[in-house]
A = this chain, B = another copy of it.
Amino acid sequence: MASDNAVDALIKQLARLPGLGPRSSRRIVLHLVKRRQQQLDPLVAVLTEFQETVVSCKECGNVAIGDLCPICTSEERVANVICIVESVADLWALERSRMYKGLYHVLGGVLSAATGVGPEELGIPRLIERVQELQATEVILGLGATVEGQATAHYIAEQIQHCNATVTSLGRGIPMGGELDYLDSGTIAASLIGRRELT
Contacts and interface: CB of A to CB of B under 8 A. Distances in A.
B39 A6 contact: no
Contacts of A95: 1-2
Interface string A46-60: 111111011010000
A4 B54 CA distance: 8
Interface in A9-42: 9-10, 13-14, 16-20, 24, 26-33, 36, 39-42
- Give chain A's interface secondary structure class: helix
Given A18-B28, A33-B56, A92-B26, A6 B50 contact: yes
Contacts of A40: 50-51
A71 interface: yes
Interface in A61-119: 62-65, 69-71, 87-89, 91-92, 95-96, 104
A7 interface: yes
Interface residues of A, number: 56
A185 interface: no
A89 B3 CA distance: 11
Sorted from nearest, which 10 A-B pairs have the closest CB atoms? A2-B95, A4-B65, A10-B50, A9-B46, A6-B50, A19-B24, A13-B46, A6-B49, A17-B28, A10-B46
